Chains A and B, each alone.
Chain A
């Protein structure tokens, strides 16, 4: 059954939120939804770009109190 996971990359400059997402995807199943939390504005562009490049499904990005929430679904 598909799960929803939070990937908490807040305050992470290195390895950073995208690397945390890549790690989290390794132990996720196709269909799982992952929500990345990031305090780095660069994630707003970097993460969707990578999601699209690899062929996963980008869902949406929202912002609240200086934290960006980037939602995606593992597609393969």
Chain B
């Protein structure tokens, strides 16, 4: 049984390791083979970018060699897929090689797309790549006061990022001693400060307490970088001195080019995680069009499900369980407190009051992630 995993991010890596452990004997006997094709020989801990933008991590802390994270027995190639031939159970890579598969998992992830809003790339700071996070930190360090506006595009990776960056900025300016010269103004696309109602119920009073102002029902339409004005679809204008954006995201270009899904999101069965219309092609993480959070934990829990199911398909010819929509997100509330939200398709989250203990656990998880990626946690 040839298992092909396309993509070496969080979901693809956890899945590959999970499968390699479940299929140790099959890999040894040659009954199964696991191949991973990735665009990079490095693996990035993406949540670390938030800390990079705030000067609390450095770039070297974000990376490991991808090969060092993978179980022995996984055949790893830095050779991204360029062509998917689902009817032939084949893919073609950038180097021109063709790989056959019996089961394929597409885990190519997503990318930020600030270009979708006129003026945004020129005007705004963001932190979704190493380069932009470092640029944002340098910009913050030279900022001496004024109105800082946070905008949120949809869909975006990491649903807690808008709140986290806002609360962290509040503490950052306090620590620099310029909080009295800074007005933080938060915007959000729907009629409350967060998509999760219970998170919004907790976050809005926190903002009120800290003097952070906000506009809801604010969907960014364009940025006038010359005059430093934001305009929303709803007809509201906001002046800014420093603009920080959580940019809208798209799936990867290769998905769109191969006609696998509009905007790079692949139509996916929400419990079985197979690509619609295909029994032997699965997808997970940001790559799916499932209407849940684009977050590392989503990819992680989906990878756990697929690990069990694909191993069972090798051993007994059928999957054994369904994905229940589980998501877990830490929420950093400034520099020294945090809480979390956990939910699934049927149960909404019920976030508790932020504590220092949860913040410390999040800092610990920033290191523990590498164990997670190895499929051990």
Contact = CB atoms under 8 A, between A and B. Distances in A.
Contacts of B279: none
A22 B60 CA distance: 37
A27 interface: yes
A59 interface: no
Interface in B290-304: 291-293
B346 A11 contact: yes
Contacts of A54: 219, 233-234
Given A49-B191, A53-B217, A15 B154 contact: yes
Contact of A13 (B116, B189, B196): B196
Interface in B144-192: 154-155, 159, 189-191
Contacts of A15: 154-155, 159, 195, 291-293
Nearest to B194: A14
Given A23-B154, A53-B217, A18 B349 contact: no
Interface string A16-53: 11111011001100000000000000100010011001
B327 interface: yes
Contact of A16 (B190, B219, B346, B349): B190
A14 B291 CA distance: 8
Q: Is the interface of B mostly helix, strand, loop or mixed?
A: loop
Contacts of B155: 15, 19, 23
Given A19-B155, A46-B190, A53-B234, A12 B292 contact: yes
Interface in B303-325: 325
Contacts of A49: 191, 217
A20 B270 CA distance: 15
Contacts of B263: 27
Contacts of B196: 13-14, 16
Contact of B154 (A8, A10, A22, A42): A22
Contacts of A14: 159, 195-196, 292-293, 327, 341, 343, 349
Contacts of B233: 54
A54 B233 CA distance: 6
Contacts of A9: 291
In the complex, which of the residues B195, B327, B348, B349 has the most CB atoms of chain A within 10 Å of its own CB atom? B195
Interface string B341-377: 1010110110000000000000000000000000000
B345 A11 contact: yes
Contacts of B341: 14
Nearest to B294: A15
B89 interface: no
B190 A50 contact: yes
7 contacts: A11-B270, A11-B292, A15-B195, A16-B195, A49-B217, A50-B191, A54-B233
Interface of A: 8-20, 22-23, 26-27, 42, 46, 49-50, 53-54
Interface of B: 116, 154-155, 159, 189-191, 195-197, 217, 219, 233-234, 262-263, 270, 291-293, 325, 327, 341, 343, 345-346, 348-349
A-B residue pairs, 3 tightest by C-beta = A11-B345, A12-B291, A16-B195
Given A9-B291, A13-B292, A13-B343, 4 more contacts: A14-B159, A14-B327, A15-B154, A50-B191
